[in-house]
Amino acid sequence: MAAGRRPPAADGPGVTTALADLPTPALLVDRERMEANLAAMAAAYRAAGVALRPHFKTSKCVAVARRQLAHGAAGFTCATPAEVALLQDAGVEDVLWAHQPVGPAKVAFAVGALGRGGLTVALDSVESAEPLARTAEAAGVAVPYVLEVDTGLHRAGVDPGRAVEVAGALAALPALSLRGVITHEGHLAAYGPDRAGLEAAGALAGRTLVQVADALRADGHACPLVSVGSTPGANSAPFAPGVTEARPGTYVYYDANQVRLGSAGFDQCAQTVLTRVVSTQRAGTVIVDAGIKAMSSDAIATAGVLGVVCDLEGKPLDGVEFTTGHEEHGFLTGPGTDGLRVGDLLRVIPNHACGTTNMWSGLHLVDGARAVDHHPIEARH
């Protein structure tokens, strides 16, 4: 590891580093906030008898996944082969790959990963299923799968009215066995700050998926798993009677987008980017050392374009906007920048935690004003 890449905090148990001594920019995760997020979501689902299968894409960090397991997660959801492999290598026994395994490389990977056991794949058509089914049959590997259903996002997933027909066609293929149905109610983000409308749409997505499961059972299919998943919908969709599982991902850290959607408050946002003011040459603009390679520019959520600028305690600063960024320079503007000086430390709550994670190869776990541990972020593109 090159000098300066890691702070002393990574060097051994019990060694901690003041935030002021970390190299900037740095990705921080507030331990207390993360633990509270994990505990609250796990408790809500435990009380409702709904299994929790978090999406791993938000952290891509095995140490965080282990904390989710400790809070009672039943398994994980993944989007990419690298995420699946990382969790399987870490010994996680129940993984849902919620993405269609299409193309020779993904089919070969899927058959190998299915052969290790504990993996379920998502399918939504005969076209996506057939090469996998034939390759798995030749290898003598079983393919437990869930049928992905579109409850409004209009991404992947069969229309609810076609689920019975598609499941029937898939039943004719070798090696496949249906475990249930999944949906990602990602369309809830379109409701913006209309929380009541968002929750009504979330409940409807849950009910729609349960109706699909009932229709499949009436047609003779076993359908034990009825799985919804999103952070905006985390307090609505999973509570539709008949839903068995919830797959929120972003809840581990939350972010500015989730605050705007009413899923959390800023005081629950556990992921921040630590950055330092490096130049104040022009009146009205302050330059920091976190640019677009440190942040995710996804979905402008609040007044700030690249994230919400906070003080060192993680409290949003009035009148400071993260207006734009170059690769390694961020531009802060607004009346609140008047008091900022070269060398000042700030923390930025990203718009989108999952996109920001993908920018970084490691995170500092933070207790108060000290970094107490460093964990790798893996399975990035």
Ligand X SMILES: Cc1ncc(COP(=O)(O)O)c(C=O)c1O
Contacts to ligand X by CB under 6 A: 55, 77, 98, 184, 186, 229-232, 247-250
Q: Which is nearer to ligand X, 18 or 43 (CB)?
A: 43
Distance of alpha carbon 122 from alpha carbon 127, whole angstroms:
13
Distance of alpha carbon 187 from alpha carbon 175, whole angstroms:
33
Token representation of residue 302? 């609040």
Distance of CA 232 to the CA centre of its chain: 12
Q: Which is nearer to ligand X, 35 or 298 (CB)?
A: 298
Q: How far is the CB of 155 from ligand X (least distance, A)?
A: 8
Q: How far is the CB of 236 from ligand X (least distance, A)?
A: 12
Q: How far is the CB of 75 from ligand X (least distance, A)?
A: 13
Q: How far is the CB of 34 from ligand X (least distance, A)?
A: 14
Using only C-alpha atoms, what is the Rg of the chain?
22
Distance of alpha carbon 362 from alpha carbon 371, whole angstroms:
13
> Nearest CA to 212 among 238, 242, 237, 239?
242
Distance of alpha carbon 360 from alpha carbon 26, whole angstroms:
9
> Nearest CA to 18 among 364, 369, 374?
369
Q: Which is nearer to ligand X, 231 or 271 (CB)?
A: 231
- Phi and psi torsions of 30, nearest 5°: -75, 115
Q: Which is nearer to ligand X, 17 or 250 (CB)?
A: 250
Note whether 279 and 272 are within 8 A (CB).
no
Q: How far is the CB of 254 from ligand X (least distance, A)?
A: 9
Residue with the shortest CB distance to ligand X: 229
Q: How far is the CB of 55 from ligand X (least distance, A)?
A: 4
Q: How far is the CB of 230 from ligand X (least distance, A)?
A: 4
> Nearest CA to 79 among 364, 358, 375, 359?
358
Vertex 354: Cα angle to 302 and 260 (nearest 5): 25
Q: Which is nearer to ligand X, 208 or 231 (CB)?
A: 231
Q: Which is nearer to ligand X, 229 or 330 (CB)?
A: 229
Q: How far is the CB of 232 from ligand X (least distance, A)?
A: 6
Give the DSSP letter string of 45-98.
Answer: HHHHT-EE--BGGGT--HHHHHHHHHTT---EEESSHHHHHHHHHTT---EEE-
Q: Which is nearer to ligand X, 178 or 234 (CB)?
A: 234
Strand partners, 364: 28, 374
Strand partners, 95: 76, 119
Q: Which is nearer to ligand X, 248 or 334 (CB)?
A: 248
